[in-house]
Structure 1
């Protein structure tokens, strides 16, 4: 199973925001610099995360973004399910000789369900239990 960069970046944005203290605002530029990710990619991701209700965007000169809900209430499996475009693991071509009796597609579907089930057992809070360690890895912009 391989997740798209879009989902990876979505999770990274949420982790970054979860490290902020007391609902402190962050900027797209700050996140892009800390992860060395294109700011243009993040704009689309942040927009969708806002539409999905995970983050809140505050406009204006002193604006920024922050989590819209407690990190304990953000389920990782749900985020992955909502940000991945397609969980199609294998392309079964039409001339495949085993198509009528193939068990591979069922096995892969079962594996995908197990993957998502495990992710459903984690919240964003679980991913940032080591906040001090993570904060040390980022620039001083997180520390106030």
Structure 2
């Protein structure tokens, strides 16, 4: 399974914001520069993260973005659930004629559940706490 770039960059944006001092705001432009991603793509990602409460966005001259809650309260599984379309196969009758007898869907649902359960064991804080190599790469002070 491969995460979409939407989820990938969403997680990276959260990692960057979590690496900053708690009271420091950043900008979408700054995040896009750090990761070399399209600003339009990042705007969509930040909007969805904001709607879900993972990010707080403040408009205006002194505005910016920052985490919407402490990093230790953000489970990676929750972020992936919010950003990732987790349907691995199309099991509609119109698309697949074996759907009524197929057992693949239930196996894949169990696999996704196990995947998310593992991600639920990790918080954003665990990814950044005392991670000096990360801070150096992100050029965070």
Output the TM-score relative to the length of structure 2: 0.89
Please state if 1:59 is matched with 2:59: yes
Q: How far, CA to CA, are the matches of 1:63 and 1:105 in structure 2? A: 45
Matched length: 138
1:26-73 deviation digits (Å, cap 9, x = unpaired): 111111011011111111111111111111112222221111211000
CA distance in 2 between counterparts of 1:125 and 1:109 reads 28
- Cα distance in 1 for partners of 2:132, 2:96 equals 52
Question: 1:52, 1:95 → 2: CA distance?
Answer: 36
Q: Which residue of 1 aligns with 2:88?
A: 89
Mapped contact 2:16–2:138 kept (Cα < 8 A): no
Distance in 1 of aligned mates of 2:100 and 2:132: 54
SS at structure 1 position matched to 2:25 = coil
Residues 1:104 and 2:108 aligned together:
no
Partner of 1:7: 7
For 1:52 and 1:104, how far apart are their aligned partners in 2?
A: 31
Which residue number corresponds to residue 122 of structure 1?
A: 122
1:71-124 CA-to-partner distances (Å, cap 9, x unmatched) read: 00011111110112x21112344334xx44432222111111100111111111
**Structure 1: where are the runs of 5+ without partners?**
none
C-alpha separation in 2, matches of 1:63 and 1:123: 26
Structure 2 CA distance, aligned partners of 1:35 and 1:124? Answer: 18
Give the TM-score normalised by the residue count of structure 1: 0.87
